C-alpha cells in the first residue's frame, strides 16, 4: 500500500542542541535503513521549511502507523497521511 506522508518537524528552540543532533543522526540512519528496504520510497524537502513529503510502501495501515511511531523525530512531528492508488492514466506498468 502506498501512502504520501507530509512531515513537519518542530524541535523547540530551547531543546538541548547536542540531544537534537543525536536524534537527527538516529533519524537519518533509520530513514536510510527504511529507504534501502523499499519501505520509504521517496522523500522531498519542502523548500524553506523543516518539512518533507515522503512516499511509503507498506503492507497495511498498521504497518505505516508502527513505522511512523518508531521515527526518532516522531515526538516533534505533525503528520498528514494520504493513501494513494495507481492512476488509470499512468503510462507506467507498476506503482514504482
CA distance from start to end of the chain = 12
Q: Which domains does the chain have, with CATH numbers?
A: 2-83 (3.30.70.1060)
* pTM (two decimals): 0.90
Residue pLDDT, tens place only, 70-84: 999 999 999 999 999
The model's pLDDT over 20-37, given as tens digits with 9 standing for 90+, comes to: 999 999 999 999 999 999
Residue 88 banded pLDDT, cuts 50, 70, 90: confident
The DSSP H or E segment spanning 9 is strand 2-9
pLDDT at 86: 84
Amino acid at each position: 500500500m502506498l501512502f504520501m506522508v507530509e512531515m513537519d518537524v518542530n524541535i523547540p528552540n530551547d531543546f538541548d542542541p547536542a540531544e537534537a543532533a543525536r536524534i537527527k543522526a538516529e533519524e537519518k540512519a533509520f530513514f536510510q535503513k527504511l529507504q534501502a528496504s523499499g519501505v520509504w520510497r521517496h522523500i522531498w524537502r519542502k523548500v524553506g521549511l523543516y518539512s518533507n513529503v515522503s512516499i511509503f510502501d507498506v503492507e497495511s495501515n498498521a504497518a505505516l502507523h508502527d513505522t511512523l511511531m518508531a521515527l526518532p523525530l516522531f515526538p516533534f512531528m505533525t503528520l498528514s497521511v494520504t493513501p494513494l492508488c495507481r492512476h488509470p492514466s499512468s503510462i507506467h506498468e507498476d506503482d514504482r
